[in-house]
Amino acid sequence: MTPRIVEILYQMIAFLFAISVHESAHAWTASRCGDPTARMLGRVSLNPIRHIDLFGTIILPLVAALSHFPLLGWAKPTPVDPRNFRHPMLDDILTSVAGPVSNFIVATGALLLLGGISLSSISGHTLVMGLVAGGDGAGSDSALAPVAMLLFELMFINIVLAVFNLIPVPPLDGSHVLRHFLSDPVRMVYDRIGIFALLALVYLGGGLLGSLIRPFVHFYLSMLVKF
């Protein structure tokens, strides 16, 4: 396989794992807050098959990877019935932010493992610094190159998904926080125009998305070079 195909394969593996963690976190938190709907449907699972949406999880990310764009997409929405929550507003917010928080946790775990590889040997340090500098690691003679490449994609994609989902545009997770502080008439309009705002953000707001995501990526990379 060519280095580019290997890179796309790693990106898709990392993306499927990231969305599985994200949706499982929603389902697990909802269950802890009193709503067993998602848990009863088997959504507290890292099996990506339980979360796959054909277009949002397979087609769109694959097209993005082939087009050299960051992998953006979505999974099958986690079913939540807020009527079962013990504290409707608080529990809805907790359930919503659990997904992005889980992605930041995975990204941080990948960062620490990459740091361990960097500290393990001179070749490991060279490999990780090459990935930070924008290389693909394919030319490294380190036996840890495949692991480091996968961990780097895992870190990057989880950061992108976490920040993207925190944007307060319906139906993204961040909107579930903001909507609770809106009046009923404003909330109705907010929910109705959400999908159009989301499409505009994805297809027309590339510069805005980049400006939101870039500081978080730079922070993680700056932490990585300290190892």
Residue ranges of domains in the chain: 3-224
- Provide the pLDDT for residue 92: 95
Task: Note the pLDDT of residue 97.
Answer: 97
Interval 191-208: pLDDT, tens: 888 778 877 777 776 678
CB 20 within 8 A of CB 47: yes
Burial-class residue 131 by CB neighbours within 10 Å (0-12, 13-18, 19+): buried
| b/e code 174-185 from CB counts within 10 Å (16+ = b) | bbbbebeeeeee
Active-site positions? 23
What span, in angstroms and rounded, lies between the C-alpha atoms of 27 and 24?
A: 5
Q: Give the 3-state secondary structure of residue 34.
A: coil
pLDDT above 70: residue 224: yes
What is residue 182's three-state secondary structure? coil
Read off the amino acid at residue 28: W
Q: What mean pLDDT is predicted for residues 85-99?
A: 96
Q: What is the pLDDT of residues 122-178, one digit of tens each?
A: 999 999 999 999 876 655 667 889 999 999 999 999 999 999 999 998 889 999 889
Q: What's the token pair of residue 38?
A: 């998602």
Distances from the Cα of 187 to the Cα of 81, 90, 95, 169, 191, angstroms: 18, 17, 19, 12, 6
Average pLDDT over residues 8-16: 92
Position 215 pLDDT exceeds 90: yes
Q: Which two tokens stand for residue 131?
A: 């990935």
pLDDT in tens, 55-85: 888 888 888 878 777 777 888 989 999 999 9
How far apart (Å, rounded) are the C-alpha atoms in residues 176 and 93?
Answer: 6
Which pair of tokens denotes residue 142?
């380190």
What long-range pairs does 84-89 form, CB within 8 A, spacing at least 24?
Answer: 84/34, 84/35, 84/36, 84/37, 85/30, 85/33, 85/34, 85/35, 86/33, 86/34, 87/33, 89/180
Residues 6+ apart with CB under 8 A from 66: 8
Say if residue 210's pLDDT is above 70: yes
Question: Does pLDDT of 29 surpass 70?
Answer: yes
pLDDT at position 137:
66
Lowest pLDDT segment from 72-81, 109-118, 132-141, 181-190? 132-141
Per-residue model confidence (pLDDT) at position 206: 66
For residue 92, the Cα-to-chain-centroid distance in whole angstroms is 19
Q: Is the dihedral of CA 76, 23, 211, 187 positive or negative?
A: positive
Q: What's the average model confidence in pLDDT over 90-101?
A: 96
DSSP 98-112: HHHHHHHHHHHHHHH
* Structure token digits, residue 28: 């697990």
Average pLDDT of the residues in 92-112: 97
**148 in Cβ contact with 137 (< 8 Å):** yes
